[in-house]
Structure 1
């Protein structure tokens, strides 16, 4: 389901993405709307599934897990769910996505160093259902995950549609 977003919704999302700790009162002040109006928009964004979490972002590298890798897994037929359950038991596997292409799963993995990465990889390939794996070690992160440019693009498209509709 795709939510219909208005300019104010996009402005709220941008502020939340840029400064999640500022709070509803501060967002309302910056956007020049009543606090109740802003709270209603936040509630709407949560109900529609656009705003999924207020969780803090925690950097594993700052906690001693400086290694980052992506592991592609090819699975035995019919083993997807069982393999995902096994991978969830490995703390260093921080994300698992089912993908199309040469692999069945793409996993994001953290490790303390190369020796630790090897240990984690051994746990992964020993998981039920894993037939083959390939690993890509991240040398450096050049662009961290962000949705702010996407929000800006949607805002611009909304403004263009509004101008054309007049």
Structure 2
């Protein structure tokens, strides 16, 4: 849980989502130096009861969490020291399980997610855009289904080991 993961922005967006979907839950896996700040931000927004911090999780538990989830959020942001993501492995793992992706136009994310096809991509640091994308997927089962199916297919086609090795040769 570090600034480039965009969790502060996500918590603000999630507070807006709860106005339409009051039973929604936001589950975070991982630990990091920003955890106390994030917990406080959730409390300040009045959404702490809807946010669960699981801490570090093993591979099996992560897979279980991905299989139980409905949407995978990866709202990365460029930090003040210009730290940014490549193509996040966690996002590729989520796509492989068939989770629709809501993420930002950041770093290597657009190389893996095609906006409107295998996920929805929004501007960095925009809680309003992030909330809108989440609400769009949550309110439209056919869009959810399309994004889910294409995400799983695209990640298998683009990122399977043999294809990556051939690309390097």
TM-score, scaled to structure 2: 0.24
| Greater fraction of residues in helix | 2
Q: Which has the higher contact order (CA 8 A, sep 6+)?
A: 1
| Greater fraction of residues in strand | 1
